[in-house]
Amino acid sequence: SVMLQWRYDMRLMFIVPPTAFEPPPQVESAIVRMIPVQSKLACDGPTLQAGVMKAFSQRRKVIRNCLAGMFTEAQIIDAGIDPQSRPETVGLAQYVALSNLLKPV
C-alpha cells in the first residue's frame, strides 16, 4: 500500500459485496482507481522499497525494532516517526523522509 501510494493517487470507487461472487468470499472486495502521480514525493525508489519491506517484515513489532540495523532510533525520530508506533500507522511522507536519510535525492 505504501509503495502504491507513492506511485499512484488511489481512490476507492465502490465496495463489492460477497454476494457478487460464486462462491461468496468471507470478505468484501473493493474497486479502486489508480491514477499515476505526476509529482511523486522525491526519494530513491529502491531505498524507499527496502525500508518499507523491512518495516513490514515483522508482524506486531514497533517500528524501532523492525528497522533496527537499518536506521537508528534518532533517525526514526528525525523522520517524524514515533519509535513506538507500528509500521501500519506510519504515513507515506514519513517513509520518504526515512529513505532520504539513507540516500538523499
pLDDT, averaged per 10 consecutive residues of the chain (105 residues), comes to: 94 97 96 92 94 93 95 95 96 96 91
pLDDT at 82: 97
Gap between the Cα atoms of 65 and 74, Å rounded = 13
pLDDT at 103: 92
Q: Which three cell numbers stand for residue 66?
A: 523492525
15: which strand partners? 30
Q: Do 49 and 17 fall into the same domain? A: no
Give the CATH number for residue 65.
Answer: 1.10.8.100
Q: Do 59 and 84 fall into the same domain? A: yes
Report pTM.
0.85
Q: Do 96 and 68 fall into the same domain? A: yes
pLDDT at 3: 95
The pLDDT tens digits for 72-99 are 999 999 999 999 999 999 999 999 999 9
Asked if the structure places residue 3 within a domain, the reply is no
Domain that holds residue 51: 45-102
pLDDT at 91: 96
Q: Do 54 and 16 fall into the same domain? A: no
Residue 70 near residue 51 (C-beta atoms within 8 A): yes
